[in-house]
Structure 1
Amino acid sequence: MRLLWPSLAVVLLLYPALAEEHNYQLAGPAPGSIRFKWIHGSICAATNRDPRVQAVMYNEDTYILRENIAIHYDAPFTYLLMGNKGALLVDTGATEEAEYYPLRATVDAILKRWGDLRGKTDLPLTVVLTSPEYLSENQGYRQFVNRPNTTLVPLDLAKMKAFYGLTDSWPNGTGRIDLGGRIITVIPTPGAHKDGVTFYDSYNGFLLTGHLLFPGRVMISNDADYVASLTRLKEFSAQHPVKWVLGSQIDMKFLPGVEYMRLIRYKPDEHLLQLEPTALQEALATATRMLGKPEVAILADFTMRNRVGPDERPGRRPANLPRIPQLPNLR
């Protein structure tokens, strides 16, 4: 027996685990959870000691990453999805310098660990953006330029359409990214930005909507396009199971209809990242009502601004919003 264990160790080193193939075709969304608190910055950003990138495993093939709010006030989210033949990184955060925001190093470490467990090496990576135009989603893009075995979505709108096979069908068609059994649907959704795209991950039932819809300050740049895009998403979600709508950032507090001030770097009482699918209908109804009007709308989970600036304040808080009862003064 003393000779068996060293021999077995040698065999394991010489013959690593065979590549494991995963079945991504499930009857419903894959199990997973977001049961934690996001790092939320500091009153003084210079004193913050939290990780520069918070990486959380939603399930074994899905990671949600967030840029530290002490680095950038938007604290944007990115999503890393793995399949049998490739990985997809959706959005790249708000900071170019890897010294301050080590997104590529974080992604490389996750893919290395995932590949070791699955018996896969050098998994091809595709980097895409929910809006190449929006700075808080595209600055880390440059960290992946010249990365081996990596494909980057073009930043130019016409080239981006061609990349997804949507040159002749934008914005009404859909594209497709196959990660090896895990299919990602590409849905054009201009309105917040002219090049806006939503990604549907059928494995998890996620709609990754970027800056189009998220628990925060939704800025509508073209209201007709925005309504049309939400209409497409609503129709799409009626035909495909959607568990959550996941956007690019959080601007809301946990109090219904209450925003954080812009540009601050300390948000200890944030809203959840995930929105229920019913948010699509709520946003569509509100945006339809606002067509052609300069207006601010306050809803429980997000606010919407049409034809006004980001600091425009609403005239009145809606009476139908839930209110948190005040605690009695115990002093």
Structure 2
Amino acid sequence: MNNWFTVEKIDDITYAISEYKHWEETHCYLLIGDNKSLLIDTGLGIGNIKDVVCKLTNKEIQVVTTHAHWDHIGGHKYFKNIYIYYKEHKWLKEKFPIPLEVVKNNIIAKPCDFPDYFDINKYEIFRAESIKKLYDIDEIDLGNRIIKIIPTPGHSPGHICFYDIKKKYLFSGDLIYKGKLDIFYPTTNPVDFLQSIRNVKKLDIYKVLPGHHEINISATLVDDIDKGLTSLFEEGKLKHGQGIFKFDNFTIHV
């Protein structure tokens, strides 16, 4: 397989496809149903993720997007059947809100073991005319496996999580992970982020599968993040420009 990616088996029909060689340690997830497969996010676009996916499944592949940041849409260029939440549809079809040079600088911000074929000067942010829209009420039926759309704005206006109803997996994107939770960009909303955490707390979650860093995290991290955000809110610090706050298993940058 393409050695840029690391494949980890979550169960017999769920795989994490990760970019551990990059400092962001981005995770994408392949979910296989009886009729088709779902790929949640496609990473940075440094390697060809489709080559990896096609060795794990021979079923039709539908690509969905937790949010339209560069580190989650880079490999969309290798696929045709792509969906994104309607609130960020224009980011992929019309105008991405962050300049290309800023994105490039972020990709190379820390030393990484890039493959020889990668040239940052040729890097482009994914664009397409044929992106399809997801909505709040949507569910994706893979065949004996239903995935529910959970709107979770805050990190970005159209951020969503995906909930595997039968397995009780929450694919949390950039809402929940061990590391620095970024809510300081102009397009972020710290109060919405807190409300999104409170909304996913209502779900019966067996396993959280995050967008970055360590995969084996406890579902109790949701409660921990809720407590951290709530404490900042009560202190009047849950707003842009307040800085970085460290907690036991995560950091919040507002």
Give 1:7's aligned residue.
none
- 1:200 matches 2:163: yes
- 1:111 matches 2:50: no
The 1:224/1:281 distance shift into structure 2, 3 A limit, reads same
Give 1:118's aligned residue.
none
- 1:297 matches 2:245: yes
Query: Helix, strand or coil for the counterpart of 2:56?
Result: helix
The 1:155/1:199 distance shift into structure 2, 3 A limit, reads closer
C-alpha deviation, 1:275, in angstroms: 2.1
Give 1:23's aligned residue.
none
How many Å separate the matches in 1 of 2:84 and 2:208? 25
C-alpha deviation, 1:90, in angstroms: 0.3
Q: List gaps (5 residues or longer) in structure 1.
A: 1-49, 113-122, 146-150, 167-173, 251-271, 307-331
Instruction: Give the one of 67, 71, 94 matched to 2:44.
Output: 94
Deviations 1:129-169 (A, max 9, x none): 1111x111111111113xxxxx2114762658x83233xxx
Query: Helix, strand or coil for the counterpart of 1:282?
Result: helix
Give 2:220's aligned residue.
278
- 2:176, 2:210 within 8 Å by CA — same for their partners in 1? yes
Runs (4+) of structure 1 moved beyond 3 Å?
none
Q: Which amino acid aligns with 1:127?
A: V
Q: Name the % identity.
A: 25
- The structure with more radius of gyration: 1
Give 1:126's aligned residue.
62
Q: List gaps (5 residues or longer) in structure 2.
A: 91-131
Instruction: Give the one of 47, 64, 88 matched to 2:16.
Output: 64
Deviations 1:38-74 (A, max 9, x none): xxxxxxxxxxxx92111122222111111241xx321
Aligned residue pairs total 203
Deviations 1:153-204 (A, max 9, x none): 14762658x83233xxxxxxx4311111101111000111111100111333
Give 1:119's aligned residue.
none
Give 2:151's aligned residue.
188
The 1:193/1:158 distance shift into structure 2, 3 A limit, reads closer
C-alpha deviation, 1:209, in angstroms: 0.8
How many Å separate the matches in 1 of 2:141 and 2:85? 21
- 1:51, 1:68 within 8 Å by CA — same for their partners in 2? no
The 1:59/1:84 distance shift into structure 2, 3 A limit, reads same
Query: Helix, strand or coil for the counterpart of 1:249?
Result: coil
Aligned-residue RMSD, C-alpha = 2.2
C-alpha deviation, 1:228, in angstroms: 1.1
- 1:93, 1:138 within 8 Å by CA — same for their partners in 2? yes
How many Å separate the matches in 1 of 2:246 and 2:135? 37
- 1:104, 1:143 within 8 Å by CA — same for their partners in 2? yes
Give 1:265's aligned residue.
none
The 1:304/1:138 distance shift into structure 2, 3 A limit, reads same
- 2:179, 2:249 within 8 Å by CA — same for their partners in 1? yes
Query: Helix, strand or coil for the counterpart of 1:191?
Result: coil
- 1:80 matches 2:30: yes
TM-score scaled to structure 2, two decimals? 0.73
Query: Helix, strand or coil for the counterpart of 1:192?
Result: coil
Query: Helix, strand or coil for the counterpart of 2:252?
Result: strand
Query: Helix, strand or coil for the counterpart of 1:141?
Result: helix
TM-score scaled to structure 1, two decimals? 0.57
The 1:52/1:105 distance shift into structure 2, 3 A limit, reads same
Give 1:163's aligned residue.
133
Q: Which amino acid aligns with 1:224?
A: V
Superposed, 1:8-19 pairs within 5 Å as: none
Give 2:190's aligned residue.
223
- 1:90, 1:129 within 8 Å by CA — same for their partners in 2? yes
